[in-house]
Structure 1
């Protein structure tokens, strides 16, 4: 009888142990799934937050670009048209001497030429005609040549990438990235030398952009990041590229970004 009771006790104990083990496993699985679920929700929230930040920066950049274009139109085009209008009024006036009319006509001609040049510059900033006709390499060469003419900065470019095989949108995005980087190097970096190096490895292409400017502390990039660099960051993300930055105070600035063939 004693053996029978001991046997029943052992079976009961074993069953209780197994039940406790099963309950523990179920609780562990439920908690693990809950943690995974919470992490997924947290990941989704971070993705949504990140996308919202990108959207906000893109809107800010777009508004800044509109403001800049409006400023160019107001300051350059409008003022020149007003000057032409005033000169035309003098030209029509009976009080204006004949010898003065020649000078006025020359003035109108000169202002008109500057107005055309300015309008072309604005159109170039919106969409470079040379890019549409001859491709990215020609557009970059023209951009670099314009900067080099100023003698304030010397820019060199080396490339083994065949840009002509890319779609128009990708070429335009890369052009805007380089344009913004050059502007930042001159305006904020006070650079006198800039180098562009485009390399290719199968379908992955890399642009290595460097200058000899004042540089900055990379750890404080988020604190000093303005609309200019946010614009660069957004465009690199739009072409599904990655980037890395290397810079030190007094040692210039370098950025590497990748882009794929379309």
Structure 2
């Protein structure tokens, strides 16, 4: 068995190593790139620009990841189940459903951290992460997409945006399918804003059922590099965005 490669330890402000040096299939934890560093805004922006994201538990140092392959949702591949499409249309007609962007980012990230998930104990959205992404939000790089039902926040997600690239982070739901509705709204935005991809980080059956699929890390990083070179969109919700999601069928996978 080949020896395990050394995991770099980063000092605050130190540049990330190349993503190609992340641990591979023969290492203990594939996709792990480095540890240490800081969670300040410049470091997080640099990380996402290079296809890197933080993910760690309360009892661990900051851990930085760049898995290969990478789970990615192309907006044109998003799958909205016909029954949910019908529910959304009816709720919009009745005035029961409203989508808001960035109206209560702090509540959304706290809900993502605190909402229990089947088969999961605890959360990776630890207090340091909440503080870091709240600062990223105040700097204009992190956003919440919120589903409000009868005036109550029932689901949502938060994400990172650089240029025309969106990096999904976490979702929550306090009503059946509310997180899927928020994701559908994000996809509608991305279609309107010509965002080529939403980073989903890790492969899950749930994400795959919504149209996400794995891409080689090199292809994903190339997409990121091209997308971040463009100006970021104006994160405001327009109900007309639904026309690009509710009235379109996903394109077949290549």
Superposed pair shares fold, TM > 0.5: no
Higher Cα radius of gyration: 1
Q: With CA pairs under 8 Å and 6+ residues apart, which has the higher RCO, 1 or 2? A: 2
Q: Which has the higher helix share?
A: 1
TM-score w.r.t. structure 2 length?
0.26
Q: Which has the higher strand share?
A: 2
TM-score w.r.t. structure 1 length?
0.25
